[in-house]
Chains A and B, each alone.
Chain A
Amino acid sequence: MKKINELLSGSRRRFMGQASASFALASTGLAVPHIAQAASAVKIGLIHPATGWAAFPAAQLRYGAQMAIADINAAGGIKSMGGAPVEAILGDSQTKPEIGAAEVEKMNEAGVDAIQGCYQSAVGLAASAAAAKYNIPFSIDVGVSDKLVQRGLPNVFRMADGYGRIAADASVNLAEINKAAGSPAKTVAIVHEESEFGTGTAKMVTKALASHGLDVIETIKHANPTRNFDNIALRLKAAKPDIIMPINYPGEYVLLAKTLRQQRVDFMASYSVLGGGFNFKFVEEMPQIAENMIDVNHWYNPSSSSGQAMRKRTEADGKYFTFEVYCAYMSVMFLADGFERAGTTDKEAVNAALSSSTLEVDFMPYGPTKMLNGQNMGSRAVAIQAQKGDVQIIAPSSYASANAIFPRS
């Protein structure tokens, strides 16, 4: 099993120093000096919604991916390919699936060796299908629809979890938290956004909750964007669920949370699944609303030194350490490991190497990497809760940094 810091071989001090210097250059938009100019660059296309309503998570994803690329180059590039540097080619999906697919065509013309993207599942589905025509290795950095890896495409991989297993984990965690509190919660209301991400996740969660004795009494779908959540809050107030479960993107997540408070909706917990707006920024800027809210999501491993270092580095750059940063970082490392083991950019060989990946990712709370039809079976989401202005992992117990506060205080 290969660790990421083995991939980035060299002493830790040298690696961190070089990585910081080259990443600082990359952040300013200047060219990163390549370690080995002789070997031709390995090109990785990054497709994200750089413009449009998802511009913030897209910027976070680009930041994480470019941090990884800077680290790889600072550590000597792809060694089995003579120290070939990794080069990013940036694409903007503009939040539209058809533009995402068009970006793949452009990147193919530009000779990319792999592609990474796309934040939205709908865009990921279109873009990875376009990449399949050319057998271009495609790594999903963020995108939770299980359809992404269930179409039998040999070029599509995902290191992070999909909504099927996240829904199952979320339900198990909620059942355990509820049981530990004496099972006060019986009913759940789901509020989800209308695209593949929200609809698919809601369907999975509804099914999973039933097996734990939690009854979904209301499911409310909303548009992107939704300008006003008052009616939804009133509907929730009338339904009187014990748990409110938002499944939506950042803007709507925060607006809903604010409106629930304005309309004084009474509930035991806000337990979101893949809540787009639940992050350090939300907890820091709106502590009175965020306090005790729970989310089940991709999260870093706060007990690992590499996770702590990445957080420190990100925050030193003035960025929020959101899940997009480390998911994108992990995805680039996964691709780089594939090139390293394949020793070539031949697409067939790289796809074969990726499908047998055993890359160890210690900055995430993951088990050993094992690819099954393109999905990493070692990945898992965790339940996190805002507690006293910080974010704590409350489940699973093996990674928990605090006990759940449930029902909310």
Chain B
Amino acid sequence: MLSITLSLLPAGIINGLMFGAIYALVALGLTLIYGVLHIINFAHGAMLMLALYSAYFLFKVLNIDPYVSILIVTPASYVFGYTIYRWGIGKLSGGRDQNILLITLGLSIILENSALFFFTGDQQTISLPYSYESFDLGFLYLSYPKLISFVASLIICVLLWMLMTLTDLGKAIRAVAKEREGARLVGIDVEHVFAVTFGIGVACLGAAGCMLLPIFYVDPYTGNIFVIIAFTIVVLGGMGSIVGALLGGFIIGVTESVGGLLLGESLGQIGISLIFILILIFKPTGIFGSKV
């Protein structure tokens, strides 16, 4: 039994990396919003669910491949996030962090129950013409959807990192994250930057939704399945760190996968909780504990 498990380890690690990249993408939005706004977006899971449904209906109604619909869902998610922050969360919160928490919590309840009402609780999955095509690595068949999702997630992470480090917008976001009043004094429209950051965070979810749909299912509560993992990744990687989110995603993905192989798929989940506790005890700021 042990020899079989050990022989499966390389495959387990690759599986973990594949899923880890998608976890990272979900965590990116969360960490970005935290890094700048210093709030946890409790509607993150519900927004991921909306992205999944958007990709699902684009596929079902217009027959648009989910990987192509990234080009539609991601900007649409950005607009949704920007709008909801600029004219919803930002206005209603009165600038108080605890109000933002409550508003995002309320928003998640509204979104999930609206989805339940309009889309029902039925779990929806899709089959693409290439769903069952795969690369044969000898010890593992790497399905095309998982491989595409992995590569696309990495590209988006790199693009986001470039946006944050190489552009004026990125500088403005980092300035607001570091010193809100100072940024305002040098002429940065802080409210606009907040809304842009929130929009980018939701756009990450838009992309993540399109990449998850071919390999998972969607129902009104699917988002929460991934957001619990995303919270762990954000804590592990360091709140506000893009590189931390990516690395954290890989670590959690591999931990989950290898833990499942060594301890069984049920008990193997314990590895994620263990990492979460150890990080909180020994390095509460996370691996890259700096802010954006």
Contact = CB atoms under 8 A, between A and B. Distances in A.
Interface of A: 50-56, 58-59, 194, 220-223, 225-228, 230-232, 234-235, 238-239, 250-251, 254-255, 258, 261-264, 281, 285-286, 288-289
Contacts of B99: none
B141 A231 contact: no
Contacts, number: 104
Contact of B265 (A221, A239, A264): A221
Nearest to B124: A285
A130 B62 CA distance: 49
Given A51-B113, A225-B225, A286-B127, A230 B15 contact: yes
Residue from A231, A235, A250 having most chain B Cβ neighbours under 10 A: A231
B88 interface: no
A262 B116 contact: no
B132 interface: yes
Nearest to A250: B123
Given A230-B11, A231-B260, A262-B143, 14 more contacts: A51-B221, A53-B221, A59-B121, A221-B266, A223-B269, A227-B256, A231-B12, A234-B8, A250-B123, A251-B219, A254-B217, A258-B125, A264-B141, A285-B127
Q: Is the interface of A mostly helix, strand, loop or mixed?
A: helix
Contacts of B269: 223
Contact of B132 (A231, A251, A261): A261
Contacts of B217: 251, 254-255
Contacts of A54: 121
Residue from A53, A238, A262, A263 having most chain B Cβ neighbours under 10 A: A262
24 contacts: A50-B121, A51-B112, A51-B113, A55-B120, A58-B121, A59-B120, A221-B265, A222-B266, A223-B269, A225-B225, A227-B19, A227-B256, A228-B256, A230-B140, A231-B15, A231-B261, A234-B140, A235-B8, A251-B219, A255-B216, A262-B134, A262-B141, A263-B140, A289-B127
A55 B261 contact: no
Nearest to A277: B123
B2 to A, nearest CB: 12
Query: Interface size for chain B: under 10, 10 to 19, 20 to 34, or 35 or more residues?
Result: 35 or more
B131 interface: yes
Nearest to B4: A238
B146 to A, nearest CB: 8
A250 B122 CA distance: 10
Contact of B7 (A221, A238, A258, A262): A238
A265 to B, nearest CB: 10
A215 to B, nearest CB: 15
Given A226-B265, A228-B15, A251-B123, A55 B141 contact: no
B19 A55 contact: no
Given A227-B226, A238-B7, A56 B122 contact: yes
Contacts of A262: 131-132, 134, 141, 143
Contacts of B106: none
Given A231-B260, A235-B4, A56 B120 contact: yes
Given A228-B19, A263-B141, A254 B265 contact: no
Contact of B225 (A227, A232, A250, A288): A227
Given A51-B113, A56-B219, A231-B12, A223 B265 contact: yes
Contacts of B11: 230-231, 234
Contacts of B121: 50-51, 54-56, 58-59
